[in-house]
Structure 1
């Protein structure tokens, strides 16, 4: 990590350095299932400048990227102008991978989970239209995998990483939500799983507008802070509307996933049948993920502990048939 660059390396850096442009970070995890760079990829040198790592369509190996440690980084970057092209190429690769019967379910699960998590991170860090649409693109093959492959779904459930970061929480809720919807609705084609997937994965997008010191506060929130946090529901709907990504499913899930049968939920205090089943599915996934994640205000629970708490306290007002299907995700 502390090695000095040789004279030849220094001159090469000078020759390959790209003038200042807008860049976005991408995860090196996608190199496990892609053979060529989907667009020009860069690393950053010690001066913070972007240096070409691999040109578009050139061969790209994991070993080459592991060499990034020599330069004190583990991050890869692409030009913001290439974001749409990057997204299309990555989506095409994921579609091929998911449809390929010769690839193991565990490999497919790792690929879609890592790529989806990375796309969600960008959407939450920079909720502009291009990055939100990238996330929507990557959600599609993730949903396809859950709907078509039971073994891959089991791997996805096991792969969920529990962390307080909102984008990881949303990725997990998206996976749990789609998996539960598939179990609950079965082969009923009247439920569009892709539109549901977008709603589940982006249900908490409004939290990107909540001050981080409130969102990650270790103690109890003040009444004023609670109102700010509760505002993420309508903020999320506003963001989706601003970028033309609202479907009926996404609207319902985003606006209702914190409603409760007893009327003590928010933002509208809906009761009983006024709460849509899609929102109930999201709420179950949301509560489970919150209980099993490490948070500033509580330690993470095991799956058994979380399900026990949910059954006895948290989801007493939820359709017990729906909750029984959720338990199947961890016992099947």
Structure 2
């Protein structure tokens, strides 16, 4: 990455941030979707270089590239929504942009990964999975450098339910919770596998008829059986995608198992640690998001419900989740 020679003058960093040459080249050459600004060093002013959508000539492209290499080209933080949408399509650029704030990066990850999950749930085939996997690896790279960054992501869990949103919420919360109960004693390879497993734990739901998932009245016995089949369906889908490692089988098959043997699909009491984490993350995220048949519960209310079902959920892990949610102790 090119070295930026200039820095943002004091006080202006709340309004602007520098972009690197790599970021600049990711935009269309002749018309940028957002305004660019040039630093005028003698007066310490940031002035418009090109307005959003304004045509850029080849000569201006060279000038822009030269200024960018010097660190004299900026974007307005007020245009973050546009920038976020752009960079979410090339998520690895997040790792190259050191001027983004954690909250801004968290928003980009939320958009990008939820969008990819949406595409995957609509078409769960290898080519779509590969893009999702690539973005998840950018996320794990980002979090592996500093696990505390997950706090900003957890503050951006979706308030309303959909399969993709629930998968994002459960993936982020589950990943933070698993890292916490492992006391950070986890390899990068395992961290990557666990991330994929948690985000895809519910992929079998993509094969359940939408009229069942959108139903506001109690499900019939036949409909309930179809919903319960999603765990085994997810396991089979993982195999078809070549995801044969243990972690993804644990998450797809055990996120509805309960420690008293009352869960499904196998009514087993032998639930792995990751399975227990996934079950708790799945239940908590379901309760705290607005669904077609129920309003979202307050986090304290959801945690209390999990604690009241200590016969079904691992009480030690629930307590760890409670300290993380209520005290921010991630």
TM-score with structure 1 length normalisation? 0.71
Q: Which residue of 2 aligns with 1:248?
A: 246
Q: Which moved more, 1:186-195 or 1:287-296?
A: 186-195
Q: Which residue of 2 aligns with 1:226?
A: 224
Q: Which runs of 5+ in 2 are unaligned?
A: 1-18, 36-51, 54-81
Measure the CA separation in 2 of the matches of 1:316 and 1:263.
9
In structure 2, relative to structure 1, the CA distance for the partners of 1:62 and 1:283 (3 Å cut) is farther
Measure the CA separation in 2 of the matches of 1:230 and 1:59.
50
TM-aligned CA deviation for residue 111 of structure 1: 1.8
Q: Which residue of 2 aligns with 1:277?
A: 273
- The within-5 A match list for 1:193-272 is 193-271=191-269
Q: 1:299 is matched with which residue: 275, 279, 295?
A: 295
The answer to whether the 8 A contact 1:256-1:279 is kept is: yes
The answer to whether the 8 A contact 1:106-1:152 is kept is: no
SS, match of residue 143 in structure 1? helix
SS, match of residue 136 in structure 1? helix
Q: Which residue of 1 aligns with 2:323?
A: 328
Measure the CA separation in 2 of the matches of 1:311 and 1:58.
57
Matched, 1:142 2:128: no
Q: 2:153 is matched with which residue: 156, 172, 178?
A: 156
- The within-5 A match list for 1:1-332 is 35=23, 60-62=32-34, 90-97=90-97, 100=98, 102-189=99-186, 192-271=190-269, 274-313=270-309, 315-330=310-325, 331-332=327-328
Measure the CA separation in 1 of the matches of 2:23 and 2:315.
46
Measure the CA separation in 2 of the matches of 1:187 and 1:154.
15
Measure the CA separation in 1 of the matches of 2:25 and 2:238.
30
The answer to whether the 8 A contact 1:195-1:249 is kept is: yes
The answer to whether the 8 A contact 2:288-2:297 is kept is: yes
In structure 2, relative to structure 1, the CA distance for the partners of 1:214 and 1:149 (3 Å cut) is same
1:96-125 Cα offsets, whole Å, 9 max, x none, are: 34xx4x542212211222211111111111
TM-aligned CA deviation for residue 320 of structure 1: 2.0
TM-aligned CA deviation for residue 148 of structure 1: 3.6
Structure exhibiting the larger radius of gyration computed from Cα positions: 2
TM-score with structure 2 length normalisation? 0.72
Number of paired residues? 261
In structure 2, relative to structure 1, the CA distance for the partners of 1:173 and 1:217 (3 Å cut) is same
TM-aligned CA deviation for residue 150 of structure 1: 4.7
TM-aligned CA deviation for residue 284 of structure 1: 0.6
In structure 2, relative to structure 1, the CA distance for the partners of 1:151 and 1:278 (3 Å cut) is closer
Measure the CA separation in 2 of the matches of 1:250 and 1:125.
20
In structure 2, relative to structure 1, the CA distance for the partners of 1:141 and 1:220 (3 Å cut) is same
Measure the CA separation in 2 of the matches of 1:59 and 1:185.
48
Q: Which residue of 1 aligns with 2:58?
A: none
TM-aligned CA deviation for residue 149 of structure 1: 3.1
Measure the CA separation in 1 of the matches of 2:207 and 2:296.
25
RMSD: 2.8
TM-aligned CA deviation for residue 91 of structure 1: 4.2
In structure 2, relative to structure 1, the CA distance for the partners of 1:148 and 1:59 (3 Å cut) is farther
TM-aligned CA deviation for residue 259 of structure 1: 0.6
TM-aligned CA deviation for residue 316 of structure 1: 3.8
The answer to whether the 8 A contact 2:216-2:293 is kept is: yes
